[in-house]
C-alpha cells in the first residue's frame, strides 16, 4: 500500500483562506464567483458554472474593497457544482509583490 501525500503539503506558497468577491471569464463562459483560497500560485473559485479543464481563464478579484486584481491561468481541476482551481500564469514582479503584501497583511505571516 503506497502512502499518499496530503495535498496541503504539496503547496509551495502561503495560502489565504478568506472569501473574496470576483468574476471569472474564459472561452466557455463567464460569471460572478467567490474566491475562497488564494496564493501567489493560484486560487480556488466557487462558482455554479465553470470553465473546462485546462482552459485559460481570467479571474478578477476584489482583494481589499478598493483594489481589484486580475489573474490569468489554467484550470487545474473542477469540483462539480462547487467550483474550480486555477493555477496562475507567472506573475510579473509588481503583481507578485502586491499580492504577497496583501496575503502577508491578511494572514499575519510573511511569504
Q: DSSP assignment of 69-83, as one string?
A: EEEEEEEEEEETTTE
Backbone angles phi, psi at 39, to 5 degrees: -145, 180
Q: Scanning the structure block, which residue is given the C-alpha cell 496530503?
A: 6
pLDDT of residue 10: 47
pLDDT of residue 16: 86
How many separate domains does the chain show?
Answer: 1
Average pLDDT over residues 102-111: 78
Q: What are 27-54's pLDDT values in tens digits?
A: 999 999 999 999 999 999 999 998 999 9
Kindly report the average pLDDT of the chain as a whole number: 86
E-state strands within the chain: 20-26, 29-38, 42-46, 56-62, 68-79, 83-88
* CATH code, domain carrying 46: 2.40.10.220
pLDDT of residue 92: 94
Q: What CA–CA distances, in Å, run from 27 to 14, 31, 53?
A: 29, 12, 11
Q: What are 52-104's pLDDT values in tens digits?
A: 999 999 999 997 778 899 999 999 999 999 999 999 999 999 999 999 998 88
Which is more confidently placed, 11 or 69?
69
Residue 109 lies in a domain: no
Residue 25 lies in a domain: yes
Residue 63 lies in a domain: yes
* Residues 75, 67: Cα–Cα separation, whole Å: 24
Closest Cα to residue 70, out of 19, 18, 26, 11?
26
Amino acid at each position: 500500500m503506497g502512502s499518499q501525500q496530503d495535498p496541503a503539503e504539496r503547496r509551495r506558497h502561503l495560502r489565504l483562506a478568506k472569501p473574496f468577491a470576483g468574476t471569472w471569464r474564459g472561452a466557455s463562459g463567464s460569471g460572478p464567483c467567490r474566491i475562497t483560497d488564494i496564493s501567489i500560485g493560484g486560487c480556488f473559485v466557487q462558482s455554479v458554472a465553470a470553465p473546462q479543464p485546462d482552459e485559460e481563464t481570467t479571474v478578477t478579484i476584489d482583494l481589499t474593497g478598493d483594489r481589484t486584481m486580475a489573474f490569468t491561468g489554467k484550470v487545474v481541476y473542477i469540483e462539480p457544482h462547487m467550483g474550480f482551481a486555477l493555477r496562475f500564469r507567472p506573475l510579473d514582479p509588481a503583481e507578485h509583490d502586491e499580492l504577497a503584501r496583501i496575503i502577508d497583511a491578511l494572514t499575519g505571516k510573511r511569504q
